A and B are shown apart, each in its own frame.
Chain A
């Protein structure tokens, strides 16, 4: 069976933005959890912080998987190609992998940054 083109990560731009999309989902989830918990369930944030830890670990695992797939697609150790400025299919494939990998790195930093306040702040007030 052949995959529809849109699901082929070698030529689909959607895989380029998987990392930051996961960042966005993590951000929205954490924001919504906090907004609802602090308004409805009280000021002591213990369970909320555990929840945020869980969501964060989940997001990091998913971004990690994406990063690994992008790294394989970039295939850096194969030919040490870094620029991808040629006209071949390989250049395009490795470019999407490379850019996707870099975006995963930013997304990991973003997710950790966003979760850090929950490591230090113990209450909603």
Chain B
């Protein structure tokens, strides 16, 4: 087990990178603490697999350092880093049986035969493949193959960390949920550092204690699922986490707040203070659909908007409203009723209005 630290890391697949666009990972500092269960969340192509392969040593970073417990490991191969990794698509040794597949990493590590037997049995039970141990691995279904693939990652006891690269892509949804719980249990039981790459926020939040959201080659926020939801550090996090994502509105400076179109939004005084000191014109306001309130009657701090559309998602409704030129999504419970094109009155609780300057959240300074 180890603490994994990434220092000023950058990676480009091109030999002669000319601009930031050539980089899959841009200037990144990050620490994965010992024994944590982490998720690395981001859209396809944001650099998360690259980061994982840099940690495991399959890729040499072009710049920066990878430290395991403070020791530089850039030059070490995966075998010397002693790290386990599970890939997106099953990789099995198809001339071997399931048992031999699971025993393979242990055998390579010169684990005594008696211990291998116990360990393989243990992992096979966790993954519920103990009845298939003596089957040839090539005759398994895709699900089972992926379980074997995962098993080979989990079977080693002394690893620095286990990295999962979207391991449940090929697994059907029912089993997905179960295996995710299994991984969590294994983490609690063995206390191994685990990093789980995914583009599915639900998968990330069920597995991990803390989630790193990656966007465009950078980690834009590292926090608990609640933090990511309540205070997205970057407009991308707001948009990516939650369904639907955060309402993000381009705004301009106004007295005591910001405005868009003819709508003026007053802000907290500390937000206004910070805003006065900033020069950037790239201002955005974000508010989660969950936090916008709708009331049938107007009052001093409500804004009149028009109902555009109501989607009934079974347990809640997503209401699309038009406020001036701006479309907003509002989440309401099942009881909400309104006819299309009818006026409603919105209010925006100040504590949920997030101000973004140059895409990053403006936070209150203590």
Chain B binds chain A:
no
Question: Using a CB–CB distance below 8 Å, which chain B residues touch chain A?
Answer: none
